[in-house]
Amino acid sequence: MVTQLSGRAVHAAQGKTGATSRRARGTAPTDRRFSWEPPDAASFSEADLRECLSQAGYAAVRLSHPPGNEHPPHTHWYDKIKAVLNGSLEVSVGDETRCLRAGEWIAIPSDREHSMRVIGDEPAVTIEASRS
């Protein structure tokens, strides 16, 4: 799932519904399928994102990936969300590849093979969240 860090998108991680916090189109992070989504509405602050992820049972850390950094294909035993705060990442899940820019995030279900690399000359700063 790729989307802007909007209230609607973050609430999708929580599975909430309602007029302003309805589930974003596509797959919730806990689903076993994987889907990409286009950017959505206005951006969310890092503090708000961390709070929503925490309420959804995710543990989150802030990481800085230097230019040229790559992570070869791998899997995790836990569900993972990667949100880009600054910079750009190329993320591949299965045979699909997308570029994530500041304000976009991706949800990767457990045991799904994925890889990433930093695009451009600046570090990519991310929030990496996981839950088992």
The pLDDT of residue 45 is 76
The pLDDT of residue 62 is 95
Residue 54 domain boundaries: 2-131
Beginning with the edge strand found earlier in the chain, give each strand of the sheet holding 70-74 in spatial order.
70-74, 114-119, 88-93, 96-101
Question: Could you write out the DSSP letters of every residue in 49-104?
Answer: HHHHHHHTT-EEEEEEEPTT-EEEEE--SSEEEEEEEESEEEEEETTEEEEEETTE
What angle in degrees, to the nearest 10, is found between the helix axes of 7-14 and 46-55? 20
Domains identified in the chain, total number: 1
User: Of 124, 84, 122, whose CA–CA distance to 4 is shortest?
Assistant: 84
* pTM tops 0.75, yes or no: no
The pLDDT of residue 94 is 87
pLDDT in tens, 80-117: 999 999 999 999 998 899 999 988 889 899 999 999 99
The pLDDT of residue 30 is 43
CATH code: domain of residue 100:
2.60.120.10
pLDDT in tens, 46-69: 888 888 888 888 999 999 999 999
pLDDT top residue among 42 and 22:
42
